[in-house]
Structure 1
């Protein structure tokens, strides 16, 4: 476990906060997904979860985020999606609803290494517990659905935005976070400052248009 996450957990424990409805999750697991703007490739070193019972789930997600890299620079990475997808991720099995999410990632187009702690408010957990009637277009049926997925979009400059959504329910934006730079660089300084290589499509876009800072 990283020193950054350890400090966050100690601070959480010392706070002595009480959390309502701590064991009222109406499903077996929730989904943690990640995406990135077109061409703005990232590598997630670790996404660690602390649930409302203060249990830690290290590396709940790692690896690449969902991204599109259309050929011939035909994509547009600027701004946030109007309808975000569920992202690339995993179900956080065995955990209660999240209280904090620690993310450490590499922004490969810069390149830069970022880390952050997202505080998940009770209002977001209330949305995740609420059942709603939803029409699923893919099978033409009305169902009872939950927003049981958290999707985090990671953009250059260390900007992150999080939505909560369900399979047939529209996404609701819940928070925007500005991460901090980790001066140790990628892999906590264990790679001699070497970052992973960009895809040819992303490299071509950045060389021609640059990184659209300020659009996120």
Structure 2
């Protein structure tokens, strides 16, 4: 009798799980990108994604974050743009909607190595699922667009700010996380404590004006 009950419960769980996956399936390919304030250069060691099916996509992002470094010191690193783009990144192929994003990065302006766990709320996934009619200035047409771009801004002090956007849609903020210092240091302790070098333009700006902590 107990075996029958156990089998029935397992069957119900399997059906419920299958229905949950079917309902949560996301038809659009979504992308993950990274940016940083002017001169505040960032190197992403890894960005790992866990989707709502609990599948892990390691190194979904890595490398240089998008950043401007004008040589004439006319950049404006304080604060964030009103509607930031995705930044440097790529599509997360094969993933369902994200539940968690782990980022480990080098803040070259300080220098310091941070890590952050960014929990994506259900309200953000609802936004990603919602199609919107919008006028696209690029080709002068009305289209149906999705906010399928996740852009993460990384700033000194361990700040990670997250936006959702689309090619023809304004970005909306969904999260702000304060990361923690990675105790192992850059490259998980495999570089003898050495971070990647800062560019000459950024170094010159920071030496003259400092880092605008508290503006992000």
Same structural fold, with TM-score higher than 0.5 when normalized by the shorter chain: yes
For the 8 Å contact 1:22–1:96, the answer to whether it is kept is no
Tell me how far 1:71 sits from its aligned partner.
1.5
**1:166-181 alignment runs, 5 A limit:** 166-181=166-181
Larger radius of gyration: 2
Q: Distance in 2 between matches of 1:83 and 1:53?
A: 30
The residue number in structure 1 matching 2:25 is 24
The residue number in structure 1 matching 2:128 is 128
The residue number in structure 2 matching 1:89 is 89
Deviations, residues 116-172 of structure 1 (Å, cap 9, x unaligned): 110001000000000000110010000000000100000000011100011101101
Tell me how far 1:60 sits from its aligned partner.
0.2
The residue number in structure 1 matching 2:203 is 203
Provide structure 1 residue ranges, at least 5 long, that are not aligned to the other structure: 1-18
Q: Distance in 2 between matches of 1:167 and 1:101?
A: 22
For the 8 Å contact 1:50–1:98, the answer to whether it is kept is yes
**1:148-187 alignment runs, 5 A limit:** 148-187=148-187
Tell me how far 1:25 sits from its aligned partner.
1.1
Flag the 1:47–1:75 CA change in 2: closer, same or farther, 3 A. same
Partner secondary structure for residue 205 of structure 2: helix
Deviations, residues 66-119 of structure 1 (Å, cap 9, x unaligned): 111112100010011112012100100000000000000000010000001100
Tell me how far 1:26 sits from its aligned partner.
2.7
CA RMSD, 1 decimal: 1.2
4+ runs of 1 displaced by more than 4 Å? 19-22
Provide structure 2 residue ranges, at least 5 long, that are not aligned to the other structure: 1-19
For the 8 Å contact 1:131–1:145, the answer to whether it is kept is yes
Q: Distance in 2 between matches of 1:38 and 1:107?
A: 13
Q: Distance in 2 between matches of 1:151 and 1:185?
A: 25
TM-score, reference length from structure 1: 0.89
The residue number in structure 1 matching 2:8 is none
The residue number in structure 2 matching 1:53 is 53
Aligned length in residues: 197
Flag the 1:95–1:22 CA change in 2: closer, same or farther, 3 A. farther
Deviations, residues 26-78 of structure 1 (Å, cap 9, x unaligned): 31x10101000000001000000000000000000100001111121000100
The residue number in structure 1 matching 2:63 is 63
For the 8 Å contact 1:22–1:52, the answer to whether it is kept is no
The residue number in structure 2 matching 1:16 is none
For the 8 Å contact 1:22–1:53, the answer to whether it is kept is no
